[in-house]
Amino acid sequence: MRRNPTILGLVAALAIGLVALPVLAATADVEIRGGAYIPASLTVEGNTTVTWTNYGEVSHTVTSTGGLFDSGPIEENETFEHAFNDTGTYPYGCTLNASTQRTPMQGVVIVVPEGMMVAPAGNVTPGEEPANMTLADLVAENEDLASFAGAVEDAGLTRTVLATGGPYTVFAPDNAAFEALGNETLAGLSNDTETLDALLMHHVVRGNYTAEDLVMEANGTGNETVLETLAGDNLTVGAADGDLTIGNASIVASDITADNGIVHIIDTVLVPPGLVLSGNATPAGNETAEANVTIVEPMEGA
């Protein structure tokens, strides 16, 4: 059969044009309305450009707590964009209203690897928890986690993450664990939301991990494995002689499920490396610091 050379030429040109098309990066949008970022928690894949648009009448900023990006003042109907290429958790806020609002504007962008977009999932393990309960709701209703729930509310950003993101696995310290920090440290944390958020997000990892999953992960790598937290640090999970540990904490209750993740209750507050809590002489990593005490005999006549 004779082929029309004109049609063949058009097909070839179209094919070349399609091959030459550049790969488009993903995009996502955040609105600034009523003194809030909407959505406050945004999960995107790597190689995504996020655009913030200010629909309010007053100026706002989009300022990373880690110094990665800073929009400067964004006026009404103006925009700011930033490309997120590396995976990680990027909290940010508005510096202009920080001193005028009791609760500062806060947001977070969570970047997962390309092709691994995580969507909120249903209950993984059958439980008695009602449907449509987020991790934030579950924590708030558990009496053993009253102190943890209070810290989540004070931090604000962590509550947004637990209420809208996921799925996550949360290692939540019980009330006794927070009491062990002491009143001075707890008071300091309640007045320092940035440090409090860093501390709390050190207890959260991406994905659903039941106790059985954690044991399998640890046994698969020689009784110990490492999970990356939303704070960007690592938690060591150990399984030996039937005991499961998270850092230097033990799990006292496991597999409490919510619509967007799982909660395990632990008996110790985990402190990320490099974070020193106000009023706490214990260095990061929950290592107990032994004080060096020198006994000096009293001078004659003292």
In this structure, the answer to whether residues 214 and 176 fall within a common structural domain is: yes
Residue 288 within a domain: no
- Do the beta carbons of residue 264 and residue 211 sit within 8 Å? yes
Domain enclosing residue 260, as ranges: 135-266
Over residues 94-109, the mean pLDDT reads 70
Residue 277 within a domain: no
Global pTM reads: 0.62
Over residues 138-150, the mean pLDDT reads 94
| Residue 284 banded pLDDT, cuts 50, 70, 90 | very low
Lowest-confidence range among 65-74, 214-223, 271-280? 271-280
In this structure, the answer to whether residues 149 and 257 fall within a common structural domain is: yes
**Burial class, 19, CB count within 10 angstroms (exposed 0-12 / middle 13-18 / buried 19+):** exposed
In this structure, the answer to whether residues 169 and 82 fall within a common structural domain is: no
- Non-local CB neighbours of 207 within 8 Å, separated by 6+ positions: 118, 167, 168, 169
Q: CATH number of the domain that 144 lies in? A: 2.30.180.10
In this structure, the answer to whether residues 106 and 194 fall within a common structural domain is: no
- Non-local CB neighbours of 229 within 8 Å, separated by 6+ positions: 201, 202, 203, 204, 205, 235, 272
Neighbouring C-beta atoms of residue 77, cutoff 10 Å? 9
| Residue 124 banded pLDDT, cuts 50, 70, 90 | very low
In this structure, the answer to whether residues 188 and 259 fall within a common structural domain is: yes
In this structure, the answer to whether residues 96 and 140 fall within a common structural domain is: no
Place of tokens 């949360």: 170
Q: CATH number of the domain that 31 lies in? A: 2.60.40.420
- Do the beta carbons of residue 89 and residue 206 sit within 8 Å? no
Residue 296 within a domain: no
In this structure, the answer to whether residues 96 and 217 fall within a common structural domain is: no
The pLDDT of residue 52 is 96
Computed over every residue of the chain, the mean pLDDT equals 78
Residue 219 within a domain: yes
In this structure, the answer to whether residues 165 and 255 fall within a common structural domain is: yes
In this structure, the answer to whether residues 104 and 226 fall within a common structural domain is: no
In this structure, the answer to whether residues 76 and 189 fall within a common structural domain is: no
In this structure, the answer to whether residues 190 and 247 fall within a common structural domain is: yes
Residue 293 within a domain: no
In this structure, the answer to whether residues 169 and 251 fall within a common structural domain is: yes
From residue 272, alpha-carbon distances to 114, 198, 302 in Å are 27, 8, 45
Phi and psi at residue 17, in whole multiples of 5°? -65, -40
What DSSP designation does 25 have? Answer: P
- Counting the structural domains of the chain, the total is 2
Packed helices 193-201 and 157-164: angle between N→C axes, nearest 10 degrees? 40
The pLDDT of residue 256 is 93
